[in-house]
Chain A
Amino acid sequence: MSQSTFPQNLAESLFHGLKAAGVRFASFLPDSSLYQLEELLSADHDVTAVQCTREDEGVAMAVGASMGGTRSVAVMEGTGLGFCGLILSRARIQCTPLLVVFSHPRGGLGERLAHHSTSMLASHACVSGLDIPLMIPGSVEGAADTVAQAVETAYGQRCLIAVGIPSFIPAHRAVTR
Protein backbone atom coordinates (compact mmCIF):
# COMPACT_ATOMS: atom_id res chain seq x y z
CA MET A 1 0.00 0.00 0.00
CA SER A 2 1.42 3.37 -0.96
CA GLN A 3 1.95 5.91 1.76
CA SER A 4 1.97 9.65 1.56
CA THR A 5 5.32 11.33 1.87
CA PHE A 6 3.60 14.61 2.55
CA PRO A 7 4.56 17.22 3.31
CA GLN A 8 8.01 18.20 2.13
CA ASN A 9 8.03 16.18 -1.12
CA LEU A 10 4.58 17.50 -1.93
CA ALA A 11 5.62 21.07 -1.27
CA GLU A 12 8.62 20.65 -3.56
CA SER A 13 6.47 19.09 -6.25
CA LEU A 14 3.98 21.95 -6.10
CA PHE A 15 6.77 24.51 -6.04
CA HIS A 16 8.52 23.06 -9.09
CA GLY A 17 5.25 22.88 -10.96
CA LEU A 18 4.49 26.53 -10.25
CA LYS A 19 7.98 27.63 -11.29
CA ALA A 20 7.89 25.51 -14.43
CA ALA A 21 4.63 27.17 -15.44
CA GLY A 22 6.13 30.63 -15.03
CA VAL A 23 4.48 31.72 -11.80
CA ARG A 24 6.43 34.70 -10.49
CA PHE A 25 4.02 36.20 -7.94
CA ALA A 26 2.59 34.45 -4.92
CA SER A 27 0.47 35.72 -2.07
CA PHE A 28 -0.12 33.64 1.02
CA LEU A 29 -1.37 33.59 4.56
CA PRO A 30 0.83 31.20 6.55
CA ASP A 31 -0.92 27.96 7.42
CA SER A 32 -0.01 24.62 8.93
CA SER A 33 -0.57 22.55 5.79
CA LEU A 34 1.11 24.56 3.07
CA TYR A 35 3.81 26.38 5.00
CA GLN A 36 6.64 24.45 3.33
CA LEU A 37 5.39 25.59 -0.07
CA GLU A 38 5.11 29.15 1.27
CA GLU A 39 8.68 28.93 2.54
CA LEU A 40 9.95 27.68 -0.82
CA LEU A 41 8.18 30.49 -2.62
CA SER A 42 9.49 33.08 -0.18
CA ALA A 43 13.06 31.86 -0.52
CA ASP A 44 13.08 31.95 -4.32
CA HIS A 45 14.52 35.14 -5.73
CA ASP A 46 12.60 34.76 -8.97
CA VAL A 47 9.26 34.87 -7.18
CA THR A 48 7.72 37.92 -5.53
CA ALA A 49 6.15 36.24 -2.52
CA VAL A 50 3.99 38.43 -0.32
CA GLN A 51 2.58 37.46 3.04
CA CYS A 52 -0.88 38.96 3.40
CA THR A 53 -2.90 39.66 6.52
CA ARG A 54 -6.11 38.04 5.30
CA GLU A 55 -6.74 35.68 2.45
CA ASP A 56 -9.04 37.91 0.42
CA GLU A 57 -6.39 40.60 0.57
CA GLY A 58 -3.94 38.04 -0.77
CA VAL A 59 -6.26 37.14 -3.62
CA ALA A 60 -6.71 40.84 -4.41
CA MET A 61 -2.95 41.29 -4.57
CA ALA A 62 -2.61 38.28 -6.84
CA VAL A 63 -5.39 39.71 -9.03
CA GLY A 64 -3.46 42.96 -9.28
CA ALA A 65 -0.24 41.19 -10.18
CA SER A 66 -2.01 39.03 -12.74
CA MET A 67 -3.60 42.09 -14.33
CA GLY A 68 -0.09 43.48 -14.60
CA GLY A 69 0.90 40.47 -16.70
CA THR A 70 2.62 38.32 -14.07
CA ARG A 71 1.51 34.73 -13.63
CA SER A 72 0.26 34.58 -10.07
CA VAL A 73 -0.93 32.18 -7.39
CA ALA A 74 -2.77 32.75 -4.10
CA VAL A 75 -1.96 30.13 -1.45
CA MET A 76 -4.08 29.57 1.66
CA GLU A 77 -5.84 27.17 3.94
CA GLY A 78 -9.30 26.32 2.68
CA THR A 79 -10.97 28.39 5.38
CA GLY A 80 -9.58 31.47 3.71
CA LEU A 81 -11.59 30.87 0.58
CA GLY A 82 -14.61 31.70 2.67
CA PHE A 83 -13.49 35.32 2.65
CA CYS A 84 -12.75 35.44 -1.06
CA GLY A 85 -16.08 35.26 -2.84
CA LEU A 86 -16.28 38.92 -3.82
CA ILE A 87 -12.76 39.40 -5.10
CA LEU A 88 -12.82 36.07 -6.95
CA SER A 89 -16.12 37.11 -8.52
CA ARG A 90 -14.50 40.30 -9.72
CA ALA A 91 -11.54 38.41 -11.15
CA ARG A 92 -13.86 36.11 -13.03
CA ILE A 93 -16.06 38.89 -14.39
CA GLN A 94 -13.13 40.91 -15.64
CA CYS A 95 -11.39 37.83 -17.06
CA THR A 96 -8.31 37.99 -14.85
CA PRO A 97 -6.55 34.62 -14.80
CA LEU A 98 -5.58 33.25 -11.42
CA LEU A 99 -4.60 30.01 -9.70
CA VAL A 100 -5.66 29.42 -6.10
CA VAL A 101 -3.92 26.65 -4.16
CA PHE A 102 -5.62 25.73 -0.91
CA SER A 103 -5.61 22.95 1.67
CA HIS A 104 -8.40 20.63 2.83
CA PRO A 105 -10.74 20.59 -0.16
CA ARG A 106 -14.00 18.74 -0.08
CA GLY A 107 -13.48 15.56 -2.05
CA GLY A 108 -9.98 14.95 -0.73
CA LEU A 109 -8.95 12.05 1.45
CA GLY A 110 -7.43 11.76 4.90
CA GLU A 111 -9.35 14.62 6.50
CA ARG A 112 -9.59 13.13 9.98
CA LEU A 113 -9.47 16.37 11.99
CA ALA A 114 -12.84 17.86 12.91
CA HIS A 115 -11.59 21.43 12.78
CA HIS A 116 -10.97 21.11 9.05
CA SER A 117 -14.71 20.80 8.52
CA THR A 118 -15.20 24.52 8.00
CA SER A 119 -12.30 24.58 5.57
CA MET A 120 -13.91 21.90 3.48
CA LEU A 121 -17.36 23.45 3.51
CA ALA A 122 -16.32 27.07 3.00
CA SER A 123 -13.96 26.24 0.16
CA HIS A 124 -16.57 24.03 -1.46
CA ALA A 125 -19.14 26.80 -1.26
CA CYS A 126 -16.75 29.24 -2.91
CA VAL A 127 -15.48 27.09 -5.75
CA SER A 128 -18.84 25.53 -6.55
CA GLY A 129 -20.75 28.78 -6.20
CA LEU A 130 -18.39 30.55 -8.58
CA ASP A 131 -18.06 27.50 -10.83
CA ILE A 132 -14.28 27.45 -10.40
CA PRO A 133 -12.74 24.21 -11.69
CA LEU A 134 -11.16 22.32 -8.82
CA MET A 135 -8.28 19.88 -9.30
CA ILE A 136 -6.96 17.54 -6.62
CA PRO A 137 -3.56 15.97 -7.42
CA GLY A 138 -3.67 12.20 -7.65
CA SER A 139 -0.13 11.70 -6.37
CA VAL A 140 2.75 13.64 -4.88
CA GLU A 141 4.84 13.24 -8.01
CA GLY A 142 1.88 14.27 -10.16
CA ALA A 143 1.20 17.43 -8.17
CA ALA A 144 3.81 19.32 -10.20
CA ASP A 145 2.02 18.55 -13.45
CA THR A 146 -1.36 19.35 -11.89
CA VAL A 147 -0.42 22.86 -10.81
CA ALA A 148 1.62 23.52 -13.94
CA GLN A 149 -1.25 22.59 -16.22
CA ALA A 150 -3.69 24.46 -14.01
CA VAL A 151 -1.62 27.61 -14.53
CA GLU A 152 -1.46 27.03 -18.28
CA THR A 153 -5.22 26.56 -18.37
CA ALA A 154 -5.93 29.61 -16.25
CA TYR A 155 -3.82 31.87 -18.45
CA GLY A 156 -4.80 30.25 -21.70
CA GLN A 157 -8.51 30.48 -20.96
CA ARG A 158 -8.34 33.66 -18.85
CA CYS A 159 -10.17 31.96 -16.02
CA LEU A 160 -9.91 31.00 -12.36
CA ILE A 161 -8.65 27.55 -11.40
CA ALA A 162 -8.28 26.02 -7.97
CA VAL A 163 -5.99 23.20 -6.87
CA GLY A 164 -6.98 21.61 -3.57
CA ILE A 165 -4.42 19.81 -1.43
CA PRO A 166 -5.96 17.23 0.90
CA SER A 167 -4.34 15.74 3.96
CA PHE A 168 -3.59 12.50 2.11
CA ILE A 169 -2.13 12.16 -1.36
CA PRO A 170 -0.55 8.87 -2.49
CA ALA A 171 3.21 8.98 -2.82
CA HIS A 172 3.15 7.50 -6.31
CA ARG A 173 0.75 7.26 -9.17
CA ALA A 174 -1.29 4.07 -8.91
CA VAL A 175 -0.35 1.42 -11.45
CA THR A 176 -3.33 -0.23 -13.10
CA ARG A 177 -2.86 -3.85 -14.07
Chain B
Amino acid sequence: MIVTAHVEPRVVIGGVGATSGALWATDPSATNHLYNMDFGYPAAVGLGLAMARPELSVITLEGDGSAVAGMSVYCTIAANRPRNLTTVVFDNRVYGTGSAGFATPTGRGLRLEQLAESCGIPLELIHRVASLGELRAALPSLVDGGPSFLVVDTDTSDSRSGSRPQADIDFTECGIQFQRHLRERADTAAGSPGGSP
Protein backbone atom coordinates (compact mmCIF):
# COMPACT_ATOMS: atom_id res chain seq x y z
CA MET B 1 0.00 0.00 0.00
CA ILE B 2 1.30 3.42 -0.91
CA VAL B 3 0.85 4.91 2.57
CA THR B 4 2.26 2.06 4.59
CA ALA B 5 5.27 1.64 2.30
CA HIS B 6 6.30 5.24 2.76
CA VAL B 7 7.28 5.15 6.43
CA GLU B 8 9.76 3.08 8.42
CA PRO B 9 9.89 1.61 10.99
CA ARG B 10 6.17 1.09 10.83
CA VAL B 11 3.37 -0.97 12.25
CA VAL B 12 -0.11 -0.95 10.82
CA ILE B 13 -3.40 -1.55 12.56
CA GLY B 14 -6.16 -2.40 10.11
CA GLY B 15 -9.85 -2.14 10.82
CA VAL B 16 -12.48 -4.73 10.08
CA GLY B 17 -13.55 -5.71 6.62
CA ALA B 18 -12.24 -4.24 3.41
CA THR B 19 -9.28 -2.37 4.90
CA SER B 20 -7.71 -5.45 6.45
CA GLY B 21 -8.59 -7.53 3.41
CA ALA B 22 -6.84 -5.07 1.14
CA LEU B 23 -3.88 -4.80 3.52
CA TRP B 24 -3.46 -8.58 3.55
CA ALA B 25 -3.89 -8.86 -0.21
CA THR B 26 -1.25 -6.25 -1.00
CA ASP B 27 1.24 -6.72 1.85
CA PRO B 28 0.60 -9.75 4.06
CA SER B 29 2.56 -9.54 7.26
CA ALA B 30 1.75 -11.37 10.45
CA THR B 31 4.27 -9.34 12.41
CA ASN B 32 4.07 -5.69 11.36
CA HIS B 33 0.30 -5.68 10.88
CA LEU B 34 -2.64 -6.23 13.21
CA TYR B 35 -5.70 -7.20 11.19
CA ASN B 36 -9.40 -6.69 11.72
CA MET B 37 -9.20 -4.54 14.84
CA ASP B 38 -12.76 -4.27 16.01
CA PHE B 39 -15.21 -1.63 14.83
CA GLY B 40 -14.45 1.79 16.23
CA TYR B 41 -11.13 0.94 17.85
CA PRO B 42 -8.21 1.03 15.37
CA ALA B 43 -7.34 4.67 16.05
CA ALA B 44 -7.54 4.29 19.84
CA VAL B 45 -5.40 1.16 19.83
CA GLY B 46 -2.97 2.92 17.53
CA LEU B 47 -2.85 5.94 19.82
CA GLY B 48 -1.94 3.83 22.84
CA LEU B 49 0.73 1.98 20.88
CA ALA B 50 2.13 5.21 19.44
CA MET B 51 2.42 6.77 22.90
CA ALA B 52 4.02 3.65 24.40
CA ARG B 53 6.49 3.25 21.50
CA PRO B 54 7.49 6.69 20.23
CA GLU B 55 10.24 5.23 18.05
CA LEU B 56 7.70 3.45 15.84
CA SER B 57 5.58 4.95 13.09
CA VAL B 58 2.06 3.73 13.79
CA ILE B 59 -0.48 3.80 10.97
CA THR B 60 -4.14 2.99 11.48
CA LEU B 61 -6.45 2.12 8.60
CA GLU B 62 -10.23 1.90 8.82
CA GLY B 63 -13.42 2.61 6.97
CA ASP B 64 -15.47 5.71 7.58
CA GLY B 65 -18.16 3.82 9.52
CA SER B 66 -15.62 2.54 12.02
CA ALA B 67 -13.96 5.95 12.22
CA VAL B 68 -17.18 7.73 13.12
CA ALA B 69 -18.13 5.04 15.64
CA GLY B 70 -14.91 5.70 17.51
CA MET B 71 -14.61 9.40 16.78
CA SER B 72 -14.22 10.48 20.38
CA VAL B 73 -10.60 9.37 20.13
CA TYR B 74 -9.85 12.25 17.76
CA CYS B 75 -10.19 14.61 20.74
CA THR B 76 -7.69 12.50 22.65
CA ILE B 77 -5.32 12.37 19.69
CA ALA B 78 -5.51 16.14 19.42
CA ALA B 79 -4.87 16.61 23.14
CA ASN B 80 -1.81 14.37 23.17
CA ARG B 81 -0.35 15.08 19.69
CA PRO B 82 1.72 11.93 19.12
CA ARG B 83 4.09 12.77 16.28
CA ASN B 84 4.37 9.14 15.22
CA LEU B 85 0.69 8.45 14.58
CA THR B 86 -0.99 8.54 11.16
CA THR B 87 -4.73 7.94 11.00
CA VAL B 88 -6.07 6.88 7.60
CA VAL B 89 -9.77 6.63 6.87
CA PHE B 90 -11.14 5.18 3.65
CA ASP B 91 -14.34 7.04 2.98
CA ASN B 92 -16.74 5.30 0.62
CA ARG B 93 -19.87 6.54 2.37
CA VAL B 94 -21.44 3.12 2.92
CA TYR B 95 -21.25 0.35 5.51
CA GLY B 96 -19.28 -2.39 3.81
CA THR B 97 -21.53 -5.16 4.94
CA GLY B 98 -24.17 -7.25 3.21
CA SER B 99 -25.44 -5.46 0.15
CA ALA B 100 -23.55 -2.25 1.02
CA GLY B 101 -26.85 -0.44 0.74
CA PHE B 102 -26.77 1.54 3.99
CA ALA B 103 -25.22 4.99 3.99
CA THR B 104 -22.78 5.95 6.72
CA PRO B 105 -22.79 9.40 8.35
CA THR B 106 -20.39 10.58 5.66
CA GLY B 107 -22.86 9.30 3.12
CA ARG B 108 -25.36 11.62 4.76
CA GLY B 109 -23.13 14.67 4.71
CA LEU B 110 -20.58 14.40 7.52
CA ARG B 111 -17.13 15.64 6.48
CA LEU B 112 -14.46 13.69 8.34
CA GLU B 113 -11.76 16.28 7.81
CA GLN B 114 -13.99 18.93 9.41
CA LEU B 115 -14.75 16.53 12.25
CA ALA B 116 -11.04 16.01 12.85
CA GLU B 117 -10.44 19.76 12.85
CA SER B 118 -13.33 20.29 15.26
CA CYS B 119 -11.79 17.76 17.61
CA GLY B 120 -8.59 19.78 17.67
CA ILE B 121 -6.32 18.14 15.12
CA PRO B 122 -4.45 20.98 13.39
CA LEU B 123 -5.73 21.76 9.93
CA GLU B 124 -2.26 21.50 8.41
CA LEU B 125 -2.11 17.85 9.52
CA ILE B 126 -5.43 16.95 7.87
CA HIS B 127 -5.58 15.84 4.26
CA ARG B 128 -8.28 14.56 1.96
CA VAL B 129 -7.25 12.89 -1.28
CA ALA B 130 -9.26 11.50 -4.16
CA SER B 131 -6.56 10.18 -6.49
CA LEU B 132 -3.21 8.42 -6.40
CA GLY B 133 -1.53 11.62 -7.52
CA GLU B 134 -3.02 13.57 -4.64
CA LEU B 135 -2.05 10.80 -2.24
CA ARG B 136 1.56 10.75 -3.39
CA ALA B 137 1.71 14.53 -3.10
CA ALA B 138 0.41 14.39 0.48
CA LEU B 139 2.76 11.67 1.70
CA PRO B 140 5.78 13.79 2.69
CA SER B 141 3.69 15.98 4.97
CA LEU B 142 1.98 12.92 6.44
CA VAL B 143 5.13 11.47 7.90
CA ASP B 144 6.91 14.64 8.93
CA GLY B 145 5.49 15.16 12.38
CA GLY B 146 1.96 14.05 13.20
CA PRO B 147 -0.57 13.26 14.32
CA SER B 148 -1.58 13.13 10.67
CA PHE B 149 -5.13 12.54 9.56
CA LEU B 150 -5.75 11.34 6.02
CA VAL B 151 -9.14 10.78 4.41
CA VAL B 152 -9.03 8.76 1.22
CA ASP B 153 -12.05 9.23 -0.98
CA THR B 154 -12.84 5.81 -2.46
CA ASP B 155 -15.53 4.05 -4.41
CA THR B 156 -17.75 1.19 -3.28
CA SER B 157 -16.25 -1.52 -5.48
CA ASP B 158 -15.09 -3.60 -2.48
CA SER B 159 -18.02 -2.90 -0.18
CA ARG B 160 -19.90 -6.16 -0.58
CA SER B 161 -18.65 -8.32 2.25
CA GLY B 162 -18.91 -11.61 0.39
CA SER B 163 -16.80 -10.69 -2.61
CA ARG B 164 -13.57 -9.07 -1.42
CA PRO B 165 -10.20 -10.27 -0.07
CA GLN B 166 -10.00 -11.26 3.57
CA ALA B 167 -7.03 -11.44 5.90
CA ASP B 168 -6.10 -15.09 6.20
CA ILE B 169 -5.14 -14.97 9.86
CA ASP B 170 -7.21 -15.13 13.02
CA PHE B 171 -7.23 -12.71 15.95
CA THR B 172 -5.28 -14.97 18.28
CA GLU B 173 -2.52 -15.90 15.90
CA CYS B 174 -2.16 -12.38 14.61
CA GLY B 175 -2.25 -10.78 18.03
CA ILE B 176 0.37 -13.08 19.48
CA GLN B 177 2.75 -12.67 16.55
CA PHE B 178 2.26 -8.92 16.43
CA GLN B 179 2.94 -8.51 20.13
CA ARG B 180 5.98 -10.78 20.05
CA HIS B 181 7.37 -8.84 17.12
CA LEU B 182 6.96 -5.54 18.99
CA ARG B 183 8.70 -6.97 22.06
CA GLU B 184 11.57 -8.27 19.96
CA ARG B 185 11.98 -4.89 18.25
CA ALA B 186 12.12 -3.20 21.64
CA ASP B 187 14.62 -5.72 22.96
CA THR B 188 16.80 -5.37 19.86
CA ALA B 189 16.81 -1.61 20.23
CA ALA B 190 17.72 -1.92 23.90
CA GLY B 191 20.36 -4.55 23.23
CA SER B 192 18.79 -7.09 25.55
CA PRO B 193 17.33 -10.60 25.09
CA GLY B 194 13.59 -11.11 24.74
CA GLY B 195 11.28 -11.41 27.71
CA SER B 196 7.85 -10.52 29.03
CA PRO B 197 7.09 -6.84 29.79
Contact = CB atoms under 8 A, between A and B. Distances in A.
B171 A52 contact: no
A48 B82 CA distance: 12
Interface centre among A61, A96, A155 (most CB of B within 10 A): A61
A86 interface: yes
SS of B interface (majority):
helix
Contact of A93 (B46, B72, B171, B179): B171
B186 to A, nearest CB: 5
A71 B48 CA distance: 12
Interface stretch (A38-46, A62-70, A103-111, A137-145): A62-70
Contact of B52 (A53, A70, A87, A95): A70
A60 B45 contact: yes
Interface string B37-53: 11111001111111111
Contacts of A72: 48, 52
B80 interface: yes
Given A94-B171, A96-B179, A63 B45 contact: yes
A94 B52 contact: no
Contacts of A25: 48, 51-52
B174 A94 contact: yes
B197 A61 contact: no
B52 A69 contact: yes
A53 B80 contact: no
Contacts of A27: 48
B163 interface: no
Interface bracket on A: 20 to 34
B176 A94 contact: yes
A173 interface: no
A60 B60 CA distance: 13
A69 B41 contact: no
Contacts of A172: none
28 contacts: A25-B51, A25-B52, A48-B52, A50-B48, A50-B76, A51-B79, A52-B44, A52-B72, A53-B73, A53-B76, A57-B73, A57-B76, A60-B45, A60-B48, A61-B48, A61-B76, A64-B46, A64-B50, A67-B34, A67-B49, A67-B175, A68-B182, A69-B179, A69-B197, A90-B41, A95-B172, A95-B176, A96-B179
Interface of A: 22, 25, 27, 48, 50-54, 56-57, 60-72, 86-87, 90, 93-97, 155-156
